[in-house]
A = this chain, B = another copy of it.
Amino acid sequence: MAQTADKLQTESQLKTLNDALGSGGFLQIRRMLNGLPPADAAHLIESTPHKIRSVLWQLIDIENEGDILQHLNDEVQSQFLRQMDAEEVATITEGLEADDIADILQQLPDRVIREVLDSMDHQDRIRVEHVLSYDEDSAGGLMNTDTITVRPNITLDVALRYLRRHEQLPEMTDSLLVVNRNDQYIGVLSLRKLLVSDPSVTVREIMDTEVEPIPARMSSREVATLFARHDWVSAPVVDENSLLLGRITIDDVVDVIREESDHSLMSMAGLDEDEDTFAAVLTTAPRRAVWLGINLLTAFIASAVINLFEGTIEKVVALAVLMPIVASMGGVAGTQTLTVVIRGMALGHISRDNSRWLINREMAVGAINGLVWAVIVAAATTLWFDDPLMGGIIGAAIIINLLTAALAGAVLPLAMKSLNIDPALAGGVVLTTVTDVIGFLSFLGLASYFYG
């Protein structure tokens, strides 16, 4: 049972790899990489620093390159593709599924895509061009063209004999697609049903017409929702005229689900979900720098607010000591609300009809927690600085800031979504700016009034 501990296996493979690299054992690495299932080899390549990757890629036999390439993430793909000419790309992608070829080609400049397509054989070119004509993030971009179709008026017996004429059925084939003479989709006949039914009945009698086909322009995100809700293994894709274009399979949908989920996590730190864990320093640094720059601007805004109260701080230095507490509590409370709302939006739970309830709930939670922690912080402050007025001021500021945090954490992502800005991307930095500014403003403002 080699897979008992899959991650340990990767670890030991990585160790073997490093040892072999250290001792220059390229023959051993070549054997290992070409012997692994393509998905495992791809995972191993993704798990190595970018410089070693180029070495590993050289060691892969040309007949395995396409299979491994399709399993790599976008960034690593384009790292390798940059070193190939159009003909090489055409050669190694031969035999891959149309949607996988399309995914790979999308990493290339338009001019090169054209060249690769020209080097492909006619039938493959048509299939790939078809997929390429749709947006990468739409049903059309996800689909494969390898459908097995039957007519409704044949008997199952005929269908079974037709199937037997195939050398093999495409991967993930769980059903035959039923089309009329104009190739328009009319229903689905699952293999499960085909196998238990009387061979003398016709396809029409047992086919399932309940399964709505997926329009080619539907976003991949909505496709993923449909698959997850209806437990599909594959589903037909049609154009505006119900013409059957292809089918989407669950393996590609799983990738969409994974990317969607990673998206919120990565975006909140200003990162791209495709971010390569082992990218080079000079690739990584500028990407991260942009986000730091945005943060710097907002940090200066907060500083400007503090600067307004310079005189008060000079008199009461304890304010400088305590003010980060107010800002930090607001930031954490706001991030919690923001995260719940962003996750809820990603799951499709939040709409205009329930968002008001949600905002109210968050405000109520903010009020309760604001009150609880205000009392505790006020007590701690009074003890620490022996100053009940200071305790009262910080308590009030915390209540104000936690209410603000709840409101901003709930309203910001909703507002951004309606402006078509990615809420996860903009939410984090904007939110903490709000909680910093309101935190400093309320605390120092109250203090300057009472100590002024």
Contacts and interface: CB of A to CB of B under 8 A. Distances in A.
Interface of A: 1-7, 10-11, 14-15, 17-18, 37, 39-40, 43, 46-49, 160, 163-164, 166-169, 171-174, 191-193, 195-197, 212-215, 218, 222, 225-231, 233, 250-251, 253-255, 257-258, 261-262, 264-266, 268-271, 275, 277-278, 280-281, 284-285, 288-289, 291-293, 295-296, 298-300, 302-303, 306-307, 310, 313-314, 317-325, 327-329, 332-333, 335-336, 338-344, 347-354, 357-358, 361, 364-365, 368-369, 372-373, 376-377, 380, 429, 432, 436
A interface, by DSSP: helix, strand, loop or mixed?
A: helix
Contacts of A230: 37, 39
B265 A343 contact: yes
A291 to B, nearest CB: 7
A15 B351 CA distance: 9
A173 B160 contact: no
Nearest to A259: B261
B233 A351 contact: no
B325 A296 contact: yes
A296 B163 contact: no
Given A349-B46, A354-B47, A365-B284, A40 B343 contact: no
B195 A164 contact: yes
A72 to B, nearest CB: 12
Contact of A277 (B14, B285, B336, B340): B340
28 contacts: A3-B226, A10-B351, A37-B229, A49-B357, A169-B192, A228-B255, A253-B254, A258-B261, A265-B339, A266-B343, A269-B338, A269-B339, A271-B336, A277-B358, A278-B357, A278-B361, A281-B361, A284-B365, A285-B364, A288-B333, A288-B369, A299-B328, A299-B329, A300-B380, A302-B328, A314-B314, A317-B320, A324-B436
